[in-house]
Chain A
């Protein structure tokens, strides 16, 4: 019972944020989960009402509230569309942390977050070994997408078509570097993010190629830790704070102008959630985290706005390749960035951008949401797949490797022969053989 008192006390701390919801229900228009289930408890208004009930001790059992709260992609559509400016994501992340404090972290997540994620070197080693042996357990299913499915039935993998672990992770394939500013006069720190490192090192290589070409100095240490979002979204604030501290140590004292990432989720997490969750840390640490947050940029934002990338003057033979672009929630809804990645795609004249319907609707990945609610995630992903295929594009582009995994799964399961690329890869192609 004392734990319950504590939970209520914690929820009272966010009372000011909860009460800002005027119950207008406009979030129903944009929530991808609500669009599938139609349940009030699945939309932001409903979740906030339940949290208020819990805080007021009208609801006695937090389990039901936790279950509703977990059915959320954290895509931020509700927050972006909220007439009264409710900080729904702040509320949900904090409430998840409170509820995880109450119930404890489930054993599997505890093992992954605290055993693996929190120790970047060990994490790298385990996945490095796994990548060598993955062929024993999986088989390739789609050559265009490069996806695989489980050879042997596994509870975790289920029927998914997933991108295999890269043969060599980026931190194995590319050496650490700390190159000075080149002719651009700019220097970046390159935070590549776990999924790019372990599954899409080719995106990281494209970033390095582009920076080299434009005379941008790059600081790229290895031993980078996860940005922390998987832990935070599961309410594991302890691991989140440890990961932020690790990364701050690695990047905090380095000399650079912009912290770039090719991952929308990492960018959004560093920019918004690092400072948000730093509220209890010492003033100096908070200040440094805020400084870091101010320096982070999505790679396309950096290339278009700071470097000034313009369309390449290249000979185009034949029809340009049709490409359609999916707006990751963490880039458009969270940070308002949608023009720059398109401009980066358009910088390659061998491609032609075709807009899909609902380009900014969530793909249904939501990070670990897809692991817990695969069926719902798949239903949402199917709409995205249908919109992509309807454009007739040969290439689907997006700025978040987590979206790439989800969209890859959806396309592969439908047997579609599309290729998925990051805008920086498309731009990097213009530099090859110059």
Chain B
């Protein structure tokens, strides 16, 4: 166990977070190993998004410990955290309307060598190549989601935090995003995913943490899911 902690890419311990007066996270602890795809599951409002934002350093106040590749980030501002090699894809996608698709794609600066080449990104997301001159927010929901993922692949970040990448999208596009996550995993990207879509989570991830009221209350590997469907039904209310 100790050895595993030492090799963790991301190690979160007793993470607490607040928005103004409200205490959202009450001591979240979990780990992500290099090359893994891990999901945070749970009902609405249990603190999944806040967990991602706290790791990225964009909540008002946080406490506890978040170590990325052994480096403590709890006291760092979000720009310094990003430069360590983490990248965030927000739930609302965060496509900039005053930037065209190309500018949106090129916006995040390279934080490390080894990001994907543009050509490689266009093979993953062929739609984007044809829309480079369009205003960012004129794209369809699915295309915006692809743009939001695509732009953090260039930067050399090795850990991607994806907040509900399938929300509000058509099944065929969800399938495409699932394939993309598989491809990225094969290329050595590590991903931490927040998901409401349990089927999707089961199809792309290696391990799952279940959250309730600002804490991790259980965890499963994907092969263990089937045997624990009853518990999951209770946790998620699906």
Same assembly: no
